[in-house]
């Protein structure tokens, strides 16, 4: 198969869809790899390293998109890239379609087969291609939040861990999955007082066991969310219902009750955000705004700022799936691997993820059924 990797174009997105090790793996399996020049630069990979492993370096994104049978990316395509879509092109990347009506329409109208990393799901419900970036973003959420609590960044001027004789900050995390757990690890490590809310009682039990009483676990409902948000110095949004738009759990009146200079980091912004006062996606270039005296951070590609770590962690988990698609073809690979089949979001003009279809008002079609219409092997 001809596999193409364009340079990412989102604001400060320094990750890339493949490492030289990934090129080596694809080449050994007999595939052709085309990479846009300097695509790996932001992650510390030079063109020469890819060339040494057998990749062909192309000078433009349009060449990569038009020659490739499968495009491997990191972030969802931006409007400037929609013109590259064509029938039966396989697109393998993060998509987060529920809040992206325009992208979903463009994918469906053009007949792209779009596989979203974030919806590839194992039988136990885990999301193996989301996990490493959630680990990164969860850890980052606390270090970013700690910085924003400093006065020059708009915060109330408190040190997350406090000092002897002065109490530490209150960190409240809504969602105790991968992001939430990693945020808790860092926040506890920095000496903060941590509360996690989740609506899965078993998850709260696991967290209690993992952290041995060093954090407070609370059942997530509107009463307890309001109570926790009111006392939070740093609030982290970390909920997920796979594929679906994030529920707006923190209402505007709750944010109004937070003390001035508190900070919100809504990691769940890539699924539309879980905080009512987050009405826009922010960028690494311009990451915050202040509303009701509270600093809001809503960057949808947080791991892009620590691109070297993130690219290595991401490609560790994506390349085995990319190899399956390249080796067997999209239909056979998805038929043989139900977890991969769950990742198909759009095929043959149909929306094939139930939660995305419901969020955007499309009729749902099973991914494997839709693949039959493509004629792809
Ligand atoms: N902004 C960024 O750069 C990044 C964003 N993310 C996003 O972070 C979000 C969280 O991801 P993960 O932690 O990997 O998901 P996860 O599936 O591991 O955890 C989500 C947790 O939310 C809980 N939850 C669902 N509804 C809830 C509710 N009403 N109240 C409280 N808890 C609730 C679930 O029980 C689960 O424990 C996702 O939207 C993901 O895409 C991940 C990486 C980077
Ligand atoms: C998960 C995601 O959206 C990211 O890593 O950018």
Which of the four pLDDT bands, split at 50, 70 and 90, describes residue 36? very high
Residues 51 and 170 in one domain: no
- Distance, in Å, from the CA atom of 34 to the CA atom of 6, rounded to the nearest integer, reads 8
Is 5 marked within a binding site? no
* Structural domain ending residue among the three candidates 300, 318, 335: 300
Q: Which residues are within 8 A (CB) of 352 and not within 5 positions of it... i.e. 6 or more apart?
A: 344, 345, 346, 364, 365, 366, 367, 370
Is 299 marked within a binding site? yes
Of 55, 75, 74, nearest to 64 by C-alpha is 55
Residues 13 and 106 in one domain: yes
Q: What is the CATH number of the domain that holds 286?
A: 3.40.50.720
Q: Which residues are within 8 A (CB) of 285 and not within 5 positions of it... i.e. 6 or more apart?
A: 11, 12
Q: Which residues are within 8 A (CB) of 140 and not within 5 positions of it... i.e. 6 or more apart?
A: 302, 303, 305, 306
User: Is residue 153 among the annotated active site residues?
Assistant: no
Q: Calculate how far, in angstroms, residue 203's C-alpha sits from the geometric centre of ligand 2.
A: 23
Cβ(197) – ligand 1 distance below 6 Å: yes
Is 83 domain-assigned? yes
Which of the four pLDDT bands, split at 50, 70 and 90, describes residue 202? very high
- 8: which strand partners? none
Is 70 domain-assigned? yes
Task: Give the number of whichever ligand sits closest to the CA of residue 313.
Answer: 2
Our count of domains for the chain comes to 2
* Structural domain ending residue among the three candidates 300, 333, 362: 300
- Pair 344, 57: CB distance under 8 Å: no
Q: Is 351 helix (H, G, I), strand (E, B) or coil?
A: strand
Q: What average pLDDT score do residues 110-133 get? A: 98
Is this complex scored with an ipTM above 0.85?
A: yes
Residues 317 and 235 in one domain: no
Residues 198 and 277 in one domain: yes
Number of Cβ within 10 Å of residue 375's Cβ equals 10
* Structural domain ending residue among the three candidates 300, 323, 353: 300
Q: What percentage of residues in the chain have a pLDDT greater than 90?
A: 99
Output the residue whose Cα is nearest ligand 2's atom 6.
Answer: 301
Using CA atoms in the order 68, 5, 356, 264, what is the torsion angle rounded to 10 degrees? -170
Phi, psi torsion values for 80, nearest 5 degrees: -60, -20
pLDDT of residue 261: 98
Residues 285 and 339 in one domain: no
List pLDDT tens digits, range 77-93.
Answer: 999 999 999 999 999 99
Q: Calculate how far, in angstroms, residue 164's C-alpha sits from the geometric centre of ligand 2.
A: 37
Is 209 domain-assigned? yes
Which of the four pLDDT bands, split at 50, 70 and 90, describes residue 293? very high
Residues 166 and 225 in one domain: yes
Sheet holding 56-58, edge to edge: 56-58, 32-36, 2-5, 70-72, 90-93, 113-116, 344-347, 350-351
Is 125 domain-assigned? no
pLDDT of residue 45: 98
Q: Calculate how far, in angstroms, residue 133's C-alpha sits from the geometric centre of ligand 2.
A: 6
Q: Distance of alpha carbon 7 from its chain centroid, rounded? A: 18
Pocket test for ligand 2, best of 270, 309, 317 (most atoms within 8 A of CB): 270
Residues 78 and 207 in one domain: no
Report CA-CA distances (Å) from 340 to 71, 169, 208, 230: 16, 41, 32, 41
Cβ(128) – ligand 1 distance below 6 Å: no
Residues 180 and 311 in one domain: no
Which of the four pLDDT bands, split at 50, 70 and 90, describes residue 294? very high
User: Is residue 123 among the annotated active site residues?
Assistant: no
Q: Which residues are within 8 A (CB) of 228 and not within 5 positions of it... i.e. 6 or more apart?
A: 172, 174, 195, 197, 218
Q: Which of 31, 96, 296, 350 is catalytic?
A: 96
Buried b (16+ CB within 10 A) or exposed e, 57-76: bbeebebbbeebbbbbbbbb
- Distance, in Å, from the CA atom of 129 to the CA atom of 323, rounded to the nearest integer, reads 14
Is 319 marked within a binding site? no
Q: The tokens 């915060």 sit on which residue?
A: 155
pLDDT of residue 243: 96
Residues 168 and 95 in one domain: no
Domain range enclosing 279: 131-300
Is 194 domain-assigned? yes
- Distance, in Å, from the CA atom of 118 to the CA atom of 15, rounded to the nearest integer, reads 16
Is 126 domain-assigned? no
Cβ(118) – ligand 1 distance below 6 Å: yes
Residues 283 and 173 in one domain: yes
Residues 187 and 52 in one domain: no
Residues 139 and 283 in one domain: yes
């Amino acid at each position: 198969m001809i596999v193409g990797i364009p340079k990412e174009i989102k604001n400060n997105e320094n990750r890339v869809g493949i490492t030289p090790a990934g090129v080596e793996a694809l080449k050994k399996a007999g595939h052709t790899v085309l990479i846009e020049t300097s695509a790996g630069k932001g992650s510390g990979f030079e063109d020469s390293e890819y060339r040494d492993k057998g990749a062909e370096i192309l000078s433009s994104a349009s060449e990569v998109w038009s020659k490739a049978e499968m495009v491997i990316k990191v972030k969802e395509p931006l409007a400037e890239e929609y013109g590259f879509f064509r029938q039966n092109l396989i697109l393998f990347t993060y998509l987060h379609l529920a809040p992206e009506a325009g992208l979903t329409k463009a994918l469906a109208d053009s007949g792209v087969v779009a596989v979203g990393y974030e919806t590839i799901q194992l039988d136990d419900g885990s999301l193996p291609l989301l996990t490493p970036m959630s680990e990164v973003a969860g850890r980052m959420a606390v270090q970013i939040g700690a910085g924003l609590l400093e006065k020059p960044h708009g915060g109330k001027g408190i040190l997350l861990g406090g000092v002897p004789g002065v109490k530490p900050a209150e960190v409240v995390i809504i969602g105790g999955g991968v992001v939430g757990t990693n945020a808790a690890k860092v926040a506890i490590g920095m000496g903060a007082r941590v509360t996690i809310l989740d609506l899965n009682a078993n998850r709260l039990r696991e967290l209690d066991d993992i952290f041995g009483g060093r954090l407070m676990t609370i059942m997530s409902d509107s009463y307890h969310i309001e109570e926790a948000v009111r006392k939070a110095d740093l609030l982290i949004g970390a909920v997920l219902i796979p594929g679906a738009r994030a529920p707006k759990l923190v209402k505007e009146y709750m944010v109004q009750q937070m003390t001035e200079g508190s900070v919100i980091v809504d990691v769940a912004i890539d699924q539309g955000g879980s905080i009512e006062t987050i009405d826009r996606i922010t960028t690494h270039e311009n990451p915050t705004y202040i509303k009701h005296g509270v600093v809001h951070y809503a960057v949808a590609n947080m791991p892009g700022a620590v691109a070297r770590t993130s690219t290595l962690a991401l490609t560790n988990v994506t390349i085995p799936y990319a190899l399956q698609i390249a080796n067997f073809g999209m239909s056979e690979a998805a038929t043989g691997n139900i977890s991969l089949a769950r990742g198909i979001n759009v095929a043959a003009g149909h929306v094939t993820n139930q939660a995305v279809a419901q969020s955007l008002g499309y009729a749902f079609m099973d991914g494997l059924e839709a693949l039959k219409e493509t004629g792809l092997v």
